Chains A and B, each alone.
Chain A
């Protein structure tokens, strides 16, 4: 049973480019969460999605960031016109349902903006 899969593991983008981060949840999980870890900091919640729905995006920056979880395929976190401050580790987690349950994390995507 594969865990949460994120790709790419490492991503380098120049300022102004777009970054697309992918997350495939664990088998049987339909709830996905994205978190960001800035250098030397803890993880911060960004967005919570179910298939085809954004449930909570209270932690998402208001501009340039968007997320989706289509009916088919992985969840995508998209960052447009990246800036140096976007450099961070982005983690995806999944859970089997929306109640109080354990969330499992992927290995993260480390984004570097040069």
Chain B
């Protein structure tokens, strides 16, 4: 099956700093999503981005499908950005059976 690797595994920032999280995948995908799992365990949709670039407030994402990677940018980080960021992909064409990476644990200190 498809392999998903996220880096870095852990990231500690001071409030206000910018960061880039990376997701590499081993095969062509038809679906790629970024999620934020907050400290309460809730899984929040950030982006549905199988290709191209999207922005939502302080967050943006870029997927280069031909080179099999995606980047999540967080600007002017806030303490509420803390949690685990997951990249998930689906190589199929039927349904959304996602394969998740191991996540990046982000801690933003005040």
Contacts and interface: CB of A to CB of B under 8 A. Distances in A.
A69 interface: no
Contacts of B103: 42
Contacts of A41: 102
Contact of B97 (A42, A56, A108, A110): A56
B96 A42 contact: no
Give the bracket for the number of chain A residues in contact with chain B: 20 to 34
Interface residues of B, number: 24
A91 B88 CA distance: 14
Contacts, number: 69
Given A48-B95, A48-B97, A100-B31, A42 B45 contact: no
Closest 4 CB pairs of A and B: A102-B48, A103-B96, A42-B100, A100-B30
Given A55-B95, A102-B48, A105-B35, 17 more contacts: A41-B102, A42-B102, A42-B103, A43-B100, A48-B97, A56-B97, A95-B96, A98-B94, A101-B48, A101-B96, A102-B96, A103-B33, A103-B98, A104-B45, A105-B43, A108-B42, A110-B41
